[in-house]
Amino acid sequence: MQADLDGAVRIVNAAGAFNWTWADGDLKRFCDQVGWAVIHSGPDGASIETDLEVSVPKAHAFFSHNVIRVLADAGETIEWIVAWVTDIADDEDSDEQDARLIEPDAYLIRAFEQLRDLIGSELGVPLGEEVDEDLRHEITWETGTVVIKLALSTQVVSVSLVNPRYHEWANDGADDDHDE
């Protein structure tokens, strides 16, 4: 298994310096800037090929076209972009697969901890940290124009670039703000 620690930090730094408007055009502009390519785009999101040195160099963008009022009112369509920054845990060995359903393997935990320290040295103290009932561990930093989330699941470590308005909506008022 491998993790692209340098690539993950490069993406975090690029996202922090990017002039986000969170409108449709940002996805292509950001991908062009970091050497990624949109390989398929539809109304709900896009599949992206990354340059990260992992077994599945993919990212996904999620869109909200006039579904979330606070984003629509601001002219924003991109909710978040998530990229895998480690290999996906191999599920060829069923005993190991069963164990990973309970907790991530040591390699993923080490990669997550290293990225936590590297990203923290770039962005400072995190905004928050949580572990949910599915053992997903997530650390959040905010730069002003983008919310950075580092997540550890039982299968992969990922970095998400989140629209701050979407992040606030998802944490505070997700049930109240859908257009009918």
Contact 61, 78 (CB under 8 A): yes
- pLDDT at 53 exceeding the cut of 60: yes
Task: Give the pLDDT confidence score for residue 6 in this predicted structure.
Answer: 97
Q: For all residues of the chain together, what is the average pLDDT? A: 87
- For residue 169, give both structure tokens: 């909506």
Helix, strand or coil, per DSSP, at residue 109: helix
The pair of three-digit structure tokens given for residue 37, joined into one six-digit string: 């390519």
User: What's phi and psi for 48, nearest 5 deg?
Assistant: -130, 140
User: How far apart, in whole angstroms, are the C-alpha atoms of residue 57 and residue 59?
Assistant: 7
**Residues of the chain above pLDDT 70, percent:** 86
CA angle 43, 47, 148 (to 5 degrees): 95
Three-state secondary-structure class, residue 179: coil
CA-to-CA distance for 106 and 169, rounded, in angstroms? 34
> Residue 57: its pLDDT value, please?
96
- The residue among 78 and 102 whose pLDDT is bigger is 78
State the pLDDT confidence band at 147, using cuts at 50, 70 and 90.
Answer: very high
- The helix (H) or strand (E) run that includes residue 141 is strand 137-142
pLDDT digits 0-9 by tens, 151-178: 999 889 999 999 999 999 988 865 554 4
* pLDDT, position 103: 63
β-pairing verdict for 157-162 and 128-131: unpaired
Does the pLDDT of residue 135 top 70, yes or no?
no
Q: Provide mean pLDDT across the span 107-131.
A: 93
